[in-house]
Amino acid sequence: MIIIEIVHLLASIILIYVKSLIHLIFGKPRKDISGQVAVVTGAGHGLGRELALELSHKGAKVALLDINKPGVDKVDHEIKSTGGVSCSYQCDVTSQTDVQKVFNQIGDNLGPIDILINNAGITHCTPFMDLTPQQIRKTFEVNTLSHFWTISSVLPGMIARERGHIVAISSIAGLLGTPNVVEYCASKFAVNGLMTSLEKEIHANGANNNVHLTTICPLIMDTGMFKKPKTRFNSLLPICSPSDVAKTAIDSMLKNDSIITVPQSAMAIYRIEKIVPEEAAQKVQDWLDYGVGSHKSD
């Protein structure tokens, strides 16, 4: 009976609203990750370093990956000096064989991987017509394809152990297009597509509702990745600090959130943008004057 199905559907939707309201009032519970093994790519500096420190602070054992070994060695030292457990590895995330090799080593050194944070990313901050094919390929290799290599190394184990969390550090650029970073936006839109559909695929396969996926879409951070950030209203669309973003990112992982922006208020702006006419959205975007300048013009 279709009527019964619809009533059932409506009832479960209302239940979801009630649950959200309860979480809004009393806060969502956080899971405990102490003793779990977490991998962070691009952990040698900026947001990756902050994510690693935050995970260690929450009691996780952290495997630190970066193409730049001295960078991760320093973070490794920092974590150990606060009594945390960590290991550092040189890893080129664009190489599937390198990823496989390093992830096997992590398994031997720290144990099976419970948490994967795909953070490594690059940008060229160059207008579309000035991008070289090599630059475009590189951005996709680091920002998008690497997620396929790391996820396929950990997902079978997570499903078998019925425990795991995969986090993608995407960007607001994965939700909204921005000039001067066309290749970067495209690579982050692709990450959002990967995360949304993979989450559905894992859950459609039923057996495993204990493997969670979280996509983090921060606004521009002052890590030096974008040398010329601009925002007209800093309180509304701030240039974020990586330590704040890391805290919010890990907290939303502990709550099993699917996708968030940092600050979370930016999600409201994104949602409004999607329902107003395209032209109106563009007018508002121009007025907010939020974005990045090209690195080329210096």
Ligand X SMILES: *[C@@H]1O[C@H](CO)[C@@H](O)[C@H](O)[C@H]1NC(C)=O
* Catalytic positions, written as ranges: 184
**Helix (H) and strand (E) counts for the chain?**
10, 9
Cβ 254 to ligand X shortest distance, Å: 7
CA distances (Å), origin 131, targets 180, 183, 207: 10, 8, 44
Q: b/e map of 77-115 (b: 16 or more CB within 10 Å)? A: ebbeeeebebbbbbbbbbebebbeebbeebbeebeebbb
CB of 25 to ligand X, least distance (A): 15
Q: CA-to-CA distance for 152 and 146, rounded, in angstroms?
A: 10
- Among 90, 105, 241, 256, which residue interacts with ligand X (rule: CB under 6 A)? 256
Q: Rounded to an integer, what distance in angstroms lies between the CA atom of residue 53 and that of residue 36?
A: 14
One-letter amino acid identity for 289?
A: D
Q: Give me the least distance between CB of 32 and ligand X, in Å please.
A: 9
Please report whether residue 208 would count as binding ligand X according to CB under 6 A: no
Note whether 31 binds ligand X by CB under 6 A.
yes
Closest distance to ligand X from the beta carbon of 155 (Å) = 15
Q: Which of 45, 80, 228, 255 binds ligand X (CB under 6 A)?
A: 255
Which helix or strand (DSSP H or E) is residue 204 part of? Answer: helix 182-204
Closest to ligand X by CB, 207 vs 272, is 207
Does position 203 bind ligand X by CB under 6 A? no
Nearest C-alpha neighbor of 188 from the set 140, 225, 231: 140
Q: How far apart are the first and last CA of the chain?
A: 67
Is residue 212 at the binding interface for ligand X, with CB under 6 A as the rule? yes
E-assigned strands of 67-181? 86-90, 115-118, 164-169
Q: Which amino acid is at 166?
A: I
* Near ligand X by CB under 6 A: residue from 11, 19, 21, 29: 29
Side chain identity at residue 191, one-letter code = V
Region near ligand X per CB under 6 A, out of 23-31, 64-72, 193-201, 245-253: 23-31
Stretch of 1-9, 28-36, 116-124, 271-279 lying at the interface with ligand X (CB under 6 A): 28-36
Q: Which is nearer to ligand X, 178 or 210 (CB)?
A: 210
**CB-nearer residue toward ligand X: 194 or 202:** 202
> Which residue number, 31 or 101, has a Cβ lying nearer to ligand X?
31
Q: Stretches 25-33, 34-42, 100-108, 261-269: which one binds ligand X (CB under 6 A)?
A: 25-33
Residues 146-175 that bind ligand X (CB under 6 A): none
Sites of contact with ligand X (CB under 6 A): 28-29, 31, 210, 212, 255-256
